[in-house]
Amino acid sequence: AAAAAAAEEAAAEAEAAAVLAAADVTVREASFPAGPLGMRLHITHRAAFPVEVGAAPDAASAAEAAGVQAGDLLVSVAGAPTAGRTFDECLDALRAAPRPLTLKFAAVPDERFATLTWAQLTHDEAEAMMTAAPFADVSFPDARLGLLLLDGKGDAPRYPVSLKESPPEGSPAAAAGVEAGWSVVAVAGEGVAGWRYADVLAAIKGKPRPLTVTFADVPAALLMYTADLGGVGGDSDSD
């Protein structure tokens, strides 16, 4: 088992090195003083780059001042590469590192990121799982959806809004075959992966009717979670 883990780590480091050497990848280094980092990070399930900046940095934060952008991949923490590490290991390193803290980020084009090896699943396996997942586009004519929505804060999933229980009989969601546990994956055609629960609800409430909401029975292996590193000293709370 130890030999297999070492081989996987070496493969992840080699893949990361190849990506960082590519001409279409931008790498930059940023120094963070004492205080909040002002970033929300989420897991990618990619072995080479397990951590991604999930949203624009907080206004006036150290992350914003450093030029960090949503979608940037975390390359190293205090000089230690993140390749081959788990998401939790990277968060532990961020919390424990003294300040000033040097972080390195990479802006990787979407098409290159999509080809990176999944940490637990191959890219093709993951794509096949998501493609095969049941989904439904549901049109809601009224302001209220008539659904009991669950905040995924405890598990901090990639898709933070899911159905706590089955839709009422006769509702648009029930007619479309949506079931308890399905996740909201898009609102009015806009994907909500990595959004906060409150932001998804705001989008649902603020969009004109009729409103199309896309639900999917997302496989557990593909759910991702986020960590809010906006707290003082970089302490992290799931969000």
Q: Prior bond to 100 cis, omega within 30?
A: yes
Residue ranges of E strands in 117-160: 135-140, 149-151
- Give residue 120's pLDDT: 58
Same-fold call for 2-119 versus 134-218: yes
Give the right CATH number for 134-218 from 3.40.50.720, 2.30.42.10, 3.30.465.10, 3.30.2090.10. 2.30.42.10
33 dihedral zone (left: phi>0; alpha: psi -120 to 50; beta): beta
Rounded distance, CA 220 to CA 224, Å? 9
Mean pLDDT of 128-137: 87
Higher-confidence position of 167 and 6: 167
Rounded distance, CA 150 to CA 34, Å? 35
Give the right CATH number for 2-119 from 3.30.470.20, 3.90.550.10, 2.30.42.10, 3.30.43.10. 2.30.42.10
Mean pLDDT of 118-125: 61
Query: Domain map of the chain by residue range?
Result: 2-119, 134-218
Question: Which one-letter DSSP state was computed for residue 46?
Answer: B
Structure tokens, 179: 């079931």
For 18-42, the pLDDT digits (tens) are 999 999 999 988 899 888 888 888 8
Cβ(137)–Cβ(203) under 8 Å?
no
Rounded distance, CA 29 to CA 205, Å? 39
For 45-70, the pLDDT digits (tens) are 788 999 999 888 888 888 888 888 99
Kindly report the backbone phi and psi dihedral angles of residue 6, in degrees, each rounded to the nearest multiple of 5, phi listed first: -65, -40
Kindly report the backbone phi and psi dihedral angles of residue 172, in degrees, each rounded to the nearest multiple of 5, phi listed first: -55, -40
Which of 19, 12, 79 lies closest to 48 in space, CA to CA?
12
> What is the model's pTM?
0.56
**Per-residue burial over 33-47, b = 16 or more CB atoms within 10 Å of its CB, e = otherwise:** eeebbbbbbbbbbbb
